[in-house]
Structure 1
Amino acid sequence: MDTALVIGGTRFVGRHLVDHLLDQGYDVTLFNRGNHGNPFADHDRVDHVAGDRTVKTDLQAAAMTTAYEAVFDVVAYHPGDVETAVEVFADADAYVYVSSGAAYGAEEIPKREGETSLKPCTPKQATDDSRTTYGARKAAGDRVVFEAAEEGVRAMSVRPCVVYGPHDYTERTDYWLARVRENDRVLVPGDGTNVWHRVYAPDVARAMRLVAERGEAGEAYNVGDRRLTTLAEYVELVADAMGQEVEVVTAGGRALAAGDLSSNDFPLYRPYPHVMSTARLAALGWESTPLATAMRATAADHRESDRDGSGLGPARMAEERVLGVLDTM
């Protein structure tokens, strides 16, 4: 394969995917509405087709006017989007749908493709746009992929966990980068040992390309760092990447209450571990970037941005009240 159509492609994971495909010698066409700046506007091996992925005729027009072997669907948020795409691009050598680790419905350690159950999705949830139905909608998209493969479409799914890296507009990791940059004491909820599987964005891009080239139709592939960290270890990793020395201070429920806070107020906190097996993807030859390397690149991008994640977590004043209580205990 050396031609690809990327549905999305200008923000975060999609942007990293296009960069990776270009590095691998692909010619790329982006299909999107053009609502965000196109970092590849001047690249001679990247074309752009304007259209709305929720409009079938727009997708059909792209299919008829674009040369592609692989189709990467980065921005399918409803199962209806996937149903349309697998129909329109049924002739592709590979259709890769970006699902999510949030699609899993059972709390197991680790979550395995084909073994751990997926979330159900009601007809009402399938057309909803709220955050609470995100995982259910992604799971329904997975089921569309599996059904399309049974009909002869070479359709596959990748399931990233929480993604971090340069250009991360979600700012979840930026919150912790900013805390480390601005303070010598960083408050971490609980005892610091909670685990929420994460993955470096360029590694997701590489996984998508490998699945397109080597994956098996009708299969899903988890994508996550091969080495996991607790939240406290993650903050220490951030500090090393930022060249800062910080004290990680953990706080349980009673101490957090002094600042009218709870553990769930902090980005990347999850009460039950979320861990996904990545053995199936590794069997295709995929490896994840060493954590220190990944975080250094993430920190460098953070320094050049204006992102600080301040809208995602507690105000520093509330944290200071908690730290003050802990100092007297």
Structure 2
Amino acid sequence: MDTALIIGGTRFIGRHTVREFRNHGYDVAIFNRGRHDSSFARDDVVHVTGDRMDDDALDRARRQIDPDVVADCVAYHPANVQSATEIFADTDAYVYVSSGAAYGTEVIPKREEETPLCACSPEQATDDSWETYGPRKADGDRAVFAAGDRGVRAMSVRPPIVYGPHDYTDRFAYWIDRVHAYDRIIVPHSALRHLVYVGDVASAIRTIAERGDAGTAYNVGTHTLPVLTEWIELIADALGTSAEPIEMSERELATTPLDPSDFPLYRDYPHVLDTHKLESIGWEATPIPETVTTTVDHVVSTVQTVERGPDRAEERSVLETISS
């Protein structure tokens, strides 16, 4: 039986990746700092504690686990990917979780081998701010390409915004919370943007590890692109309720205390990823209604407090003004 080592495996993408590999017959080990409770504590999953920024700790994990496959879910700096592709150079597959934010040009759609990536300066490569996230992920991709050129079977997967159970960002949960609590909600007019279900990211990682080409990046996203109001309708269906989305343009919102960027999942320019390359090696997306229902059920069952988004009192004031 093959062994998969998941770098980061207790929070969101890593958590689902652990389950994906276990469900497909792999022995699985997790390497992380141990700062978050693991849902696999009672399962047959090996835990190796260490800081992924410490190359010596990562190499000890390699020697202890001797993995066939490595899924790197928490590489946020190019140096992390450069060292990992050296440490795990002899594994059957190393898959780096990059991001759709790595693309440096706004075109429709963004294609793996055509759309330019963000440039990344030495200062950006070691920064931790959101402004440098895309450049850092892009430079991680370039480390994967360089490793592929050296004969390492290293690959990357580029997801857009990810949603699903255990999402600590609450970007999708915000809309679930609004639809669950109110019958009228303000929705900014938003351009198309790709989303992807976390389970589909996990299955993409496994598919790439098993069938991907060395030195290659693969986009992953929903097979179709609902607009924001359609996502809200899907959420309402999953909740068995209805909500009236009051769609407002940027110009209309400018007359209120609200800003479009205050609303999670808003985008002012389309973000569309071409997913044909991933589909060509056998990956399939889960039907969107199914993924939304699973996500809604989890969010509602955990009764979590969602603190993202605009102030509800301001929203209510705007809605009352519209009604009058």
Aligned to 1:194: 191
3-state secondary structure, aligned to 1:54:
coil
Of residues 313, 316, 323, the one that matches 1:317 is 313
SS in 2 for 1:145: helix
- Structure 2 CA distance for aligned equivalents of residues 201 and 156 of structure 1: 19
Query: What is the CA–CA distance in structure 2 between the aligned matches of 1:127 and 1:186, rounded to whole Å?
Result: 40
Structure 1 residue identity aligned to 2:8 = G
CA contact under 8 A between 1:49 and 1:62: conserved in structure 2?
A: yes
Aligned to 1:25: 25
Q: Could you give the per-residue CA deviations for residues 117-154 of structure 1, whole angstroms, max 9, x where no partner exists? A: 00000000000000111011000000000001101110
* Partner SS state of residue 109, structure 2: coil
How far apart are residue 258 of structure 1 and its match? 4.6
- Tell whether the 8 Å contact from 1:173 to 1:309 is kept in structure 2 after alignment: no
Structure 1 runs not aligned, ≥5 long: none
Counterparts of 1:257 and 1:319, CA distance in 2:
13
Q: Which amino acid aligns with 2:27?
A: D
1:98-117 superposed Cα distances (whole Å, 9 cap, x missing partner): 00000000111110001000
Match of 1:175 in 2: 174
Matched, 1:88 2:53: no
Letter of the 1:325 counterpart: T
Paired position in structure 2 for 1:161: 160
- Alignment partner of 2:292: what SS? helix
Written as runs of structure 1 = structure 2, the 5 A alignment for 1:98-109 is 98-109=97-108
**Offset, 1:29:** 0.7
Alpha-carbon distance, 1:199 to partner: 0.4
How far did residue 322 of structure 1 move? Answer: 1.7
The residue number in structure 2 matching 1:279 is 276
Q: Which letter does structure 2 place at the counterpart of 1:219?
A: T
* Distance in structure 1 (CA, Å) of the matches to 2:276 and 2:88: 29
1:326 and 2:312 equivalent?
A: no
Query: Structure 2 stretches of 5 or more lacking a match?
Result: none
Q: Say yes or no: does 1:152 pair with 2:151.
A: yes
CA contact (8 A) 1:7 1:75 kept: yes
Alignment of 1:202-221 (within 5 A): 202-221=199-218
Where does structure 1 differ by over 6 angstroms across 4 or more consecutive aligned residues?
none
* Aligned residues of 1:78 and 1:126 also touching (Cα < 8 A): yes
Deviation per CA, 1:49-102, whole angstroms, max 9, x where unpaired?
110010111011111111310000000000011111011111110000000000
Alignment partners' CA distance in 2, 1:66 and 1:322: 57
Question: How high is the TM-score relative to the length of structure 1?
Answer: 0.96
C-alpha separation in 2, matches of 1:314 and 1:308: 14
Q: 1:222-233 residue pairs with structure 2 within 5 A?
A: 222-233=219-230
Distance 1:241 1:194 in 2: 23
Segment of structure 1 superposing worse, 277-286 or 245-254? 245-254
Distance 1:253 1:287 in 2: 35
Q: 1:138 maps to what in 2? A: 137
Q: Secondary structure at the match of 1:71?
A: strand
Q: Give the percent of matched residue pairs that are identical in Structure 1 and Structure 2.
A: 53
1:67 equivalent in structure 2: 66
Aligned position for 2:294: 297
SS at match of 1:187: strand
Counterpart CA distance in 2 for 1:51 and 1:79 is 19
Please tell me whether the aligned partners of residues 175 and 308 of structure 1 are also in contact (alpha carbons under 8 angstroms).
no
> What letter matches 2:271 in structure 1?
H
Identify the residue that residue 11 of structure 1 maps to in structure 2: 11
SS in 1 for 2:247: strand
Which SS does the other structure have where 2:208 is aligned? helix
Residue deviations 1:265-301 (CA, integer Å, cap 9, x gap): 1000000000000000000111111111000000010
Contact 1:178–1:309 under 8 Å retained in 2? yes
CA distance in structure 1 between the aligned counterparts of 2:303 and 2:267, rounded to whole angstroms: 26
How many aligned residue pairs are there?
324
